[in-house]
Chains A and B, each alone.
Chain A
Amino acid sequence: MHKILLIIQREYTTRVQKKSFIILTLLMPVLMAAMMFLPGYLISMDDEQVRTVAVYDASSVFLGRMENSQFTKYKFIPKEEYQIVKQDIKNSSYYALLVIEPNFLTTKTVQVISGSNIPWDLKSQIQDKIQGVIEKDKMAEVVRQTAIPDLEQKIAATKTHINIDTIKVGLGGEAKKSSTEIGMVLGYIFGFMIYLFIFVYGTMVMQGVMEEKQSRIVEVIISSVRPFQLMMGKIVGIAFVGLTQFALWVILGVAIFSASKSFYPGTSHVQQIQNVMAQNQDTAQQVAAPQMDKIQEIFSMVDTINFPLLISCFIFFFIGGYLLYSSMFAAVGSAIDAQEDAQQFMLPITLPIILSIMVMMSAIKSPEGPIAFWFSIIPFTSPIVMMARIPFGVPAWQLILSMVLLVATFIGMVWITGKIYRTGILMYGKKPSWKEIGKWLTYKS
């Protein structure tokens, strides 16, 4: 027992001290934070290029009604100029040419000709403007025909935005406001994290085994400890590396979350986003208030998620899934001499992991469907799929069944892979076949 602790300690310290580990651990939350903040920041940033769009309006509906916005100017041009510009848009002084045919109301299509791909922003701006003009005309027509007073205002008042509050009733009957979206996001994040951890740390185990085999230190070590101790010591040591990384991420994540919580509502940043929206949309005023509430609501709903359960399940399924897969990775590492040979044996390991991720995608959409259920019970896919279901709430019996099956499978798997490992690490010079690996299982230790 003392020796396996020594091995765990060595596997752990040599990896945690590595520069790459420290850099990745610190950089990851920064990257994740960047992914959270960047879109908001980008929205607040305007496209500040001034563009002039030439408008050839054969229908004469729009003349004088295309208002310039801050960075986009509209210039109506006569037919003669249109024909010149049309020939050679690139060398003209216009960024784009908007062509409105007389029959555009029946085709419901206008053309924008440009020397480059026009920005999506500009396209939607033009679209909004044209639609706005036509709607206004149609509205005026209806108002004129029906002669109902204040019709325009009355129609505008029918526009309604509905919020759905999803209430989750707990075991004790207490009702909490929950969020399907947040459940999906968390399910995705946690499922994906298990996937990542199994892959990253499983591969690390494989490489550690190969390093020992290639450097030939393995024979020295297994004259001091049992091969099984060496294998488990390595697997457990690396698991601690993963848990350390996860713990650091949780700490950093909580720090970033609480920092942004105190920073988000009411700051100039949010205001800025809303101001931008106000500029672009007439309805902005109606949207802005709920938008504001929404951000605060997200924070309050994140608070209602059972994080202790989520994190302890994550740790359990991470360890369980990791042990199951890393022992297989260890067996592969022991069986081969060179990285190039790994492919053939990796496939049966990576296949269920990739399948898990695919199932997870559907599981976060329907966490109680039969696919989500079965794959969250079957041990090889359960760590990832179950993790994706947990934020939505999973019946205790399913959780326990899944956990028990996972533990039983990894014990069985470690027993099998231990046998492969013990023979594999001493085999040099040939790439074994599946058949041969099968024979190793029968060797006496």
Chain B
Amino acid sequence: MELFSTKEVSKTYASQQALTKVSISVEEGTIFGLLGPNGAGKTTLIRIINQITAPDSGSVWFDGRLLKTSDISQIGYLPEERGLYKKMKVGEQALYLGQLKGLSRRDAMKELKIWFEKFEITAWWDKKVMELSKGMQQKVQFICTVLHKPRLLIFDEPFSGFDPINADIVTQEILRMKKEGATIIFSTHNMESVEQLCDHIALIDKSKKILDGPTKHIREKYKSNIYDISYRGEFDSASNNIALKYNILSHQQNGNGNKLSIQYPEGSTSGELIRDLVEQVEIISFNEVIPSMNEVFIKVVKQNS
């Protein structure tokens, strides 16, 4: 079921077109990757979702109806550019931010206790924010974002500033919240985490959406008939008819494991490639290469320019 969507949302700042008729649809209980190069318009879209700015045209939908002001209590937002009041105490500040999201002081206190214990930061409660390291501040911020148990979470580069251990803790928390039914919009330049987390992605470039679909399908779609093969036997890639028919991308031969990366031309099939190879060598493994999100990203954005 769809929890959130935008329909043909456009926004212009002075002379700059920030969004051009962008439509996205986010299913409930999934992680939606919002990707795009710097300055593509992601932040503008996220601000529109958070009702920080309004679109010039188009509509924004939440839970089957138009998004309204009171919905902000059901949305949690961790911006890329984020900070806390430096001179305020951690606990006091977290309480304040929780209350601003509509929690009562008591509920906020109760939830904060659970989170502070889970993240093992209870000792920070009375410290001023300026005494904490950047990573520590990020942890507090993460808690403040999810404290009010929003149905829709928006994370903009949530892992920046975290060491690998803390990044993993946060990843696990995000996955747990998803399991518990939260819907997450996730914006990042880290394509590995997109592969790891996102069910669905949309790619925005130059104010327009240029790619949209389930992560799996998109990677399938951008594969380019490349196979990684390991084999036993002798095989001379230079003077062979395989070299004439196929495009050999790389070739390693050394005693126990010989590896070949090969691409078949349009019109051919993987079956034909296997048949041709079997005549020459003994195949141990034969794997289709699925492009990483990183490759898809670069390819799509380059095509668009």
Binding site for B on A (CB under 8 A): 3, 6-7, 10, 14, 211-212, 214-217, 219-227, 426, 428, 436, 439, 443-445
Interface-lining segment among B22-30, B93-101, B247-255, B270-278: B93-101
Question: In the complex, are the beta carbons of B85 and A211 less than 8 A apart?
Answer: yes
Interface residues of B in 44-90 (CB under 8 A from A): 47, 50-54, 56, 69, 72, 75, 77-79, 81-88
By beta carbon, the residue of chain B nearest A7 is B100
Question: In the complex, are the beta carbons of A444 and B56 less than 8 A apart?
Answer: yes
By beta carbon, the residue of chain B nearest A427 is B13
User: What is the minimal beta-carbon distance from A355 to any residue of chain B, in angstroms?
Assistant: 34
Q: At the interface, yes or no: B262 with Cβ under 8 Å from chain A?
A: no
The answer for the CA separation of A218 and B84 in the assembled complex, in Å, is 9
Known: A223-B52, A223-B77. A6 touches B99 (CB 8 A): yes
By beta carbon, the residue of chain A nearest B53 is A445
- Residue contacts A-B, CB under 8 angstroms, 10 given: A6-B99, A215-B86, A217-B85, A219-B77, A219-B82, A220-B79, A221-B100, A224-B72, A225-B100, A445-B54
Chain A contacts of B88 at CB under 8 A? 14
Question: In the complex, are the beta carbons of A215 and B85 less than 8 A apart?
Answer: yes
Contact pick for B83, options A10, A14, A216, A445, CB 8 Å: A216
Known: A3-B100, A224-B100, A224-B101. A14 touches B54 (CB 8 A): no
The answer for the CA separation of A216 and B156 in the assembled complex, in Å, is 14
Question: In the complex, are the beta carbons of A220 and B77 less than 8 A apart?
Answer: yes
Which 3 A-B residue pairings sit nearest by Cβ, starting from the closest? A216-B83, A215-B83, A224-B100
Known: A223-B50, A223-B52, A426-B47. A215 touches B75 (CB 8 A): no
Question: In the complex, are the beta carbons of A220 and B97 less than 8 A apart?
Answer: yes
Known: A14-B88, A211-B85. A223 touches B54 (CB 8 A): no
Interface size class of B (residues with CB under 8 A): 20 to 34
User: What is the minimal beta-carbon distance from A332 to any residue of chain B, in angstroms?
Assistant: 20
Question: In the complex, are the beta carbons of B82 and A217 less than 8 A apart?
Answer: yes
User: What is the minimal beta-carbon distance from B87 to any residue of chain A, in angstroms?
Assistant: 7
Q: At the interface, yes or no: B184 with Cβ under 8 Å from chain A?
A: no
User: What is the minimal beta-carbon distance from B19 to any residue of chain A, in angstroms?
Assistant: 13
Q: At the interface, yes or no: B14 with Cβ under 8 Å from chain A?
A: yes
The answer for the CA separation of A220 and B144 in the assembled complex, in Å, is 9
Interface residues of B in 131-147 (CB under 8 A from A): 141, 144-145
Chain B contacts of A426 at CB under 8 A? 47, 52-53
User: What is the minimal beta-carbon distance from B84 to any residue of chain A, in angstroms?
Assistant: 6
User: What is the minimal beta-carbon distance from B130 to any residue of chain A, in angstroms?
Assistant: 10
Interface residues of B in 88-112 (CB under 8 A from A): 88, 96-97, 99-101
Question: In the complex, are the beta carbons of A216 and B101 less than 8 A apart?
Answer: no
10 further A-B pairs in the complex, CB-CB below 8 A; given A217-B83, A224-B100, A428-B81:
A6-B99, A6-B100, A10-B96, A211-B85, A211-B86, A215-B85, A220-B141, A223-B52, A444-B54, A445-B54
The answer for the CA separation of A220 and B79 in the assembled complex, in Å, is 7
The answer for the CA separation of A220 and B145 in the assembled complex, in Å, is 8
Question: In the complex, are the beta carbons of A223 and B75 less than 8 A apart?
Answer: yes
The answer for the CA separation of A212 and B81 in the assembled complex, in Å, is 12
Known: A6-B99, A426-B47. A223 touches B72 (CB 8 A): yes
Chain A contacts of B77 at CB under 8 A? 219-220, 223
Chain A contacts of B81 at CB under 8 A? 216, 219, 428
Question: In the complex, are the beta carbons of A222 and B56 less than 8 A apart?
Answer: no
User: What is the minimal beta-carbon distance from B20 to any residue of chain A, in angstroms?
Assistant: 16
User: What is the minimal beta-carbon distance from B52 to any residue of chain A, in angstroms?
Assistant: 5
The answer for the CA separation of A216 and B160 in the assembled complex, in Å, is 15
Chain B contacts of A211 at CB under 8 A? 85-86
Chain A contacts of B86 at CB under 8 A? 211, 215
The answer for the CA separation of A220 and B96 in the assembled complex, in Å, is 12
By beta carbon, the residue of chain B nearest A224 is B100
Chain B contacts of A6 at CB under 8 A? 96, 99-100
User: What is the minimal beta-carbon distance from A158 to any residue of chain B, in angstroms?
Assistant: 71
Chain A contacts of B83 at CB under 8 A? 214-217, 220
User: What is the minimal beta-carbon distance from A196 to any residue of chain B, in angstroms?
Assistant: 24
Question: In the complex, are the beta carbons of A222 and B97 less than 8 A apart?
Answer: no
Question: In the complex, are the beta carbons of B96 and A215 less than 8 A apart?
Answer: no
The answer for the CA separation of A444 and B82 in the assembled complex, in Å, is 24
User: What is the minimal beta-carbon distance from B131 to any residue of chain A, in angstroms?
Assistant: 14
Chain B contacts of A217 at CB under 8 A? 82-85
Known: A223-B75, A225-B100. A216 touches B52 (CB 8 A): no
User: What is the minimal beta-carbon distance from A40 to any residue of chain B, in angstroms?
Assistant: 43
By beta carbon, the residue of chain B nearest A5 is B99
The answer for the CA separation of A29 and B90 in the assembled complex, in Å, is 35
User: What is the minimal beta-carbon distance from B101 to any residue of chain A, in angstroms?
Assistant: 5
The answer for the CA separation of A211 and B47 in the assembled complex, in Å, is 21
Chain B contacts of A215 at CB under 8 A? 83-86
The answer for the CA separation of A444 and B100 in the assembled complex, in Å, is 24
The answer for the CA separation of A226 and B144 in the assembled complex, in Å, is 18
Question: In the complex, are the beta carbons of A223 and B53 less than 8 A apart?
Answer: no
By beta carbon, the residue of chain A nearest B98 is A224
The answer for the CA separation of A426 and B53 in the assembled complex, in Å, is 10
User: What is the minimal beta-carbon distance from A440 to any residue of chain B, in angstroms?
Assistant: 9
Centre residue among A3, A220, A225, A227 by max chain B CB count within 10 A: A220
The answer for the CA separation of A256 and B69 in the assembled complex, in Å, is 52
User: What is the minimal beta-carbon distance from B46 to any residue of chain A, in angstroms?
Assistant: 9
By beta carbon, the residue of chain B nearest A215 is B83
Question: In the complex, are the beta carbons of A219 and B79 less than 8 A apart?
Answer: yes
The answer for the CA separation of A216 and B51 in the assembled complex, in Å, is 17
By beta carbon, the residue of chain A nearest B69 is A226
Known: A225-B100, A426-B52. A220 touches B82 (CB 8 A): yes
User: What is the minimal beta-carbon distance from B217 to any residue of chain A, in angstroms?
Assistant: 32
Chain A contacts of B100 at CB under 8 A? 3, 6-7, 221, 224-225
The answer for the CA separation of A219 and B83 in the assembled complex, in Å, is 9
The answer for the CA separation of A95 and B72 in the assembled complex, in Å, is 83
The answer for the CA separation of A243 and B43 in the assembled complex, in Å, is 40
The answer for the CA separation of A227 and B47 in the assembled complex, in Å, is 13
The answer for the CA separation of A315 and B99 in the assembled complex, in Å, is 31
Interface residues of B in 141-162 (CB under 8 A from A): 141, 144-145
